[in-house]
Structure 1
Amino acid sequence: MEGRSNYHSHSLYCDGRAGMEDFVRFALSSGFTSYGFSSHAPLPFPTAWTMEWDRMDDYVAEFRRLKEKYAGRIELYLGLEIDYLNEKSHPAIERFRRLPLDYRIGSVHLLYDDEGRVVDADLSAEKFRQMVDKHFQGDVERVVRLYYERSRRMVELGGFDIVGHADKIHYNAAYCRPGILEEPWYDRLVRDYFAEIARRGYQVEINTKAWSELGTFYPDERYFPLLRELGIRVQVNSDAHYPERIASGMAEAYRALRRAGFTSVMRLRGGQWTEIPF
C-alpha cells in the first residue's frame, strides 16, 4: 500500500500534546502520504480535553496554512471527533454540519448517571472501576448496556463518516468483570451494533492507540471477522496525541486485519474516500 494514512489525531487545540505542524513533520518522516486532524469537538460545557468554539476559526486557519505549506508532499485533511452527548449535542446538529470539514468521527465518551450527571467513561481500567462503583452501584453490565444504547443512538442520528473506537468499553468491562466478553448478552449487543453500522454504511476505524500499552485494538480483534462478514469498510487510525506515536500499533493492526480476511482499507485520496489494497 502506498504510504501510510491516519485520520484520528489530536493536537494542542484539544488534548493533544503538540502543535499541528509537529504532527505533519513526524508524519512525513514516518512515510505517511495522507494525514488528518480530528480535534475533540466542543461540548456544551468546558472540559480539559475538548476544543472551545472560540478556537474553531484558528483551528481551520492553521490547517489551511499547513495544507498550503505542505502541498505536494502530503495530503492533509481536516476533521473533528464529535461526541454523542444527548439529543441536542451530537454529530448531526446543524452547527457541526456547517463547518468546512473533510470528514467527521462520531464517538461516545460520556454517559449519564441516575442523577443526570455527565460521567466520563473514557478512563483507565482502575478509574473506570471506581466510576462504576460511584455512579452505577458497581453494576458494570448496566454501564455496558448504557454505552451501547448511546452508541446505537449516535448511529441512528448520523452526521459522521467514521465510527470512532467502537467497542472501546470492552477492555475496562473485562477488567471489572473477567469473562464478561464471553457472556451471550454482551456478544449480542456488539453484533447488533455492528449490524446497524453496516446497514447505514459507516466506516469503522481500527483504533490502535492502546496497542503498545494494553495489547488491544478498538474494536476488539475478535470482531474483525464479523466486520468483514458484514461488509463494513475499515481504516486504521492511531488516535495519536503525541507526534512520535502516530504509527503506534498500525503494523499489528494490518496483520490482524489480514488474518480476518481483509485485503483493503479506506483512505482519502484527492478528497474522496477510496478503497486501497494492502
Structure 2
Amino acid sequence: MSRAVVIRSGGLGDFLLTLPLLARLQADGRAVHLVTRHAWHQLIALDGLADGFTDIDSARFASLWSNAMPDLAAVFADAEVFCLLPDPDGTLQRAVCRLGATAFRRIDARPAAPPHAALRILLDSGLSAEPDVLTTSHLRRPVPPDETTTGRPAVLWIHPGSGAAAKNADPEWFAESAKQFLAQGGTSVTISFGAADEAVAPLLTRCFAAAGVPFEVVQPPTVTALRTALASRATAFLGNDTGVTHLAAALAIPTEAVFLATNPDIWGPVGETVTITDLRTDGIWKEQ
C-alpha cells in the first residue's frame, strides 16, 4: 500500500475543508498519516480518515527544523507529502525529502479566487474531483437521517459569532430567524458561543429577549464534545462563516451558512444539505 502524509494546521473550518483530500487518498488505496493539531485529530479519530497521526505542535514535529530528527523517518519514508503549510524557502520540503519522502506537493491553503478551497486542495494535489465533492459529508452522525419522522424534537442550533466581526450577521437577524423557526413548528433553540464572542453574547441575549425567543446556551468544553452535542441535538443549524458551521455541514446537519465578508464560492461549507445566505449590503466580498 502506498503512503501519503498530509500536513495541515489552521483553524477548525480550514481543517474540515481538508477532509475531501483525506477521503480521496484513502479511496485511492493509500495509507494516510495526518500531521495536524491534536484537537483536530481527536475530532475525526473514529471516522477512519487517517491511519496515523503526528501532533503538528509537538517537539517531535519541530525536530524537522533541527539536525536531529530521531523518529520521523518512519512517518515520511517512501511517502508522498501533501503540505498545506507555508514553506517559502523550501526548508520543510528539504527536511522531509532527507527523511525519504518520494514527492512533496505544495498546496495553496488560502486561495484568493475560485474554485472552492476543497477543490483547489484536490487540484494542487494532482487529484481529480468527483462531482459530489462539495456535497458529501465526511463525519459520521449516529442518528437517523430524518429526525422529524422519528419523533425527535426539532432543534435549531445557532452559532452567532465567528473569528472576525466582519463575518457576523446582526443578532436581530438571528433572533428573527429563530422566531420564524419556532413559529413553523420548531421545538427549541440552542445557542453556542466561541472564545472570541464575548461582545456578541450580551447583544444577542437582548435581541432574543426583545423578540420573545427562548433559548438554551450550550458551551461544550472541547471540539470533540461540540461534535457530540451537535450530532445528538441539532436538527438544523444556522451560523456565520466559522468552524462550527463547517462542522455542522460535515455532520450532514441541514446547515444555513451566512456570508457577509468571505466568498462562499471559495469558503462555503462542504456537506450534503448546505444553504448559503448572502447578507452583503454592497455586493462586495471584503475578505478572502
Q: TM-score, normalised by structure 1?
A: 0.29
Question: Which one has a bigger Cα radius of gyration?
Answer: 2
Specify which structure has the higher proportion of helix: 1
Q: TM-score, normalised by structure 2?
A: 0.29
